[in-house]
Amino acid sequence: MRQTFWALIGLAAATTASPAADLVKLEIGISGAATDVGFFIADKKGYFRQEGIDAHMTNFDTAAKMVAPLGAGQLDIGGGGPSVGLYNAIARGIDIKIVADKGATPAGHGFQPLMVRKDLIDSGRFKSLADLKGLKVAISAPGSGSSTTLNEAAKKGGVRYEDIEKMYLAFPQQVLALSNKAIDASFTTEPNATEAEKRGVAVRFMGDDIIYPNHQVAVILYAGSFIKSKPQAAKNFMRAYIRALRDYNDALRDGKLAGPKADEVIAILTEYTNIKDASVYRAITAHGSNPDGFVNMPTLATDLDFFKATGDIEGKVTIEQVVDNSFAEAVVKELGPYKPPSAR
């Protein structure tokens, strides 16, 4: 974990700080995206060390690649989308739990919008979600959160999911594909959506907060072995993480990073991610993240039902079997529910 001025200040000020020798080393899988902001804030501001945690963060291309090391106990914690791969692993008896929110789409936080090529909008070829039929639409991967968002868009447009041609591309590649007309539309995350708009190649037709309100797009995962072998560290991690989520929510205003703590959070994001231009983070639509940590159970259940309907789930698994909100519940009981800056 990075040694920084602010982390050391936080360590010195914290009454619960532990000597370095007493820190519990935790292996954390991250995607390097903005939705990892809770990890980054907790690291930068010393919350992990205040909780006796030495956090080692490793980047993964996709959350699906975290499943095997989580199941083997090589990772203690992971963060990413609740996908078919995760549910199939759990159905096979691999012990992994969804324990907290990492990224969702409450009102105003449509950070994975439907982007449609500008020429299709200008020509009138695309006027409504019904026009998805027959189009080439890019999503990140089959059995992913973006596939369930596309399915919800199809339902709203009265279109069969099967009647849309799916293209599987990483989010940054989708911008290029829109530019060279290899695809007609995409569900791409920020900051790629803003970049496509900036280049004039695509129009933000509809936010996923409208298409799929409160969708649980990304989650925090605990390895079962971590919960069993380091129960106190699991509780301490959640306390540090929820404190960081509350800082993040203090940075939000009207779907943007424009709140009281925006400058602080943007500085952390530019340090910890590949995007070094602060103006990008000021322009994007920010993801939502529950400041009390709880996941949205209904949308997780809807996604799992969709994966089962497509025949992608191998075995029996339920959302109740997968989700463990007890860590977040314990922290909120201790800290109290989140209050926005205006209510304090």
CATH value at residue 183: 3.40.190.10
Last residue of a domain, one of 206, 230, 254: 206
Distance, in Å, from the CA atom of 78 to the CA atom of 64, rounded to the nearest integer, reads 10
User: If you count DSSP H runs as helices and E runs as strands, how many of each does the chain have, helices first?
Assistant: 17, 12
Domain that residue 311 falls in: 5-107+215-343
Last residue of a domain, one of 153, 179, 206: 206
Same domain, 98 and 232: yes
Same domain, 79 and 225: yes
Same domain, 24 and 167: no
Same domain, 61 and 152: no
pLDDT of residue 64: 82
CA 84 to chain centre: 16
**Two structure tokens written together for 37:** 């902001």
- Taking every pair of Cα atoms in the chain, the longest distance, rounded to a whole number of angstroms, is 65
Number of domains in the chain: 2
Same domain, 256 and 302: yes
Distance, in Å, from the CA atom of 53 to the CA atom of 71, rounded to the nearest integer, reads 21
Closest CA to 138 of 214, 210, 192, 195: 192
What one-character DSSP code corresponds to residue 132?
G
**Two structure tokens written together for 172:** 């940054």
Are the CB atoms for 75 and 66 separated by under 8 Å? yes
CA 303 to chain centre: 15
Place of tokens 């940054």: 172
Last residue of a domain, one of 206, 228, 257: 206
pLDDT of residue 209: 97
**Two structure tokens written together for 74:** 């090589």
Distance, in Å, from the CA atom of 138 to the CA atom of 171, rounded to the nearest integer, reads 9
Distance, in Å, from the CA atom of 133 to the CA atom of 161, rounded to the nearest integer, reads 8
Same domain, 138 and 94: no
Same domain, 122 and 242: no
Same domain, 89 and 182: no
Place of tokens 């999911």: 161
pLDDT of residue 15: 40
Distance, in Å, from the CA atom of 144 to the CA atom of 215, rounded to the nearest integer, reads 12
Q: What share of the chain is helix, strand, coil (3-state, %, to 5)?
A: 45, 20, 35
Same domain, 100 and 228: yes
pLDDT along the chain (344 residues), means of 10: 41 45 92 92 98 96 88 95 93 96 97 97 98 96 92 98 95 93 96 93 97 97 98 98 98 97 97 93 97 97 96 94 97 97 88
Same domain, 28 and 133: no
Same domain, 145 and 280: no
Same domain, 95 and 223: yes
pLDDT of residue 21: 61
Question: Cα–Cα distances in Å, from 343 out to 37, 260, 337, 338, 339?
Answer: 24, 13, 12, 10, 6
pTM score: 0.90
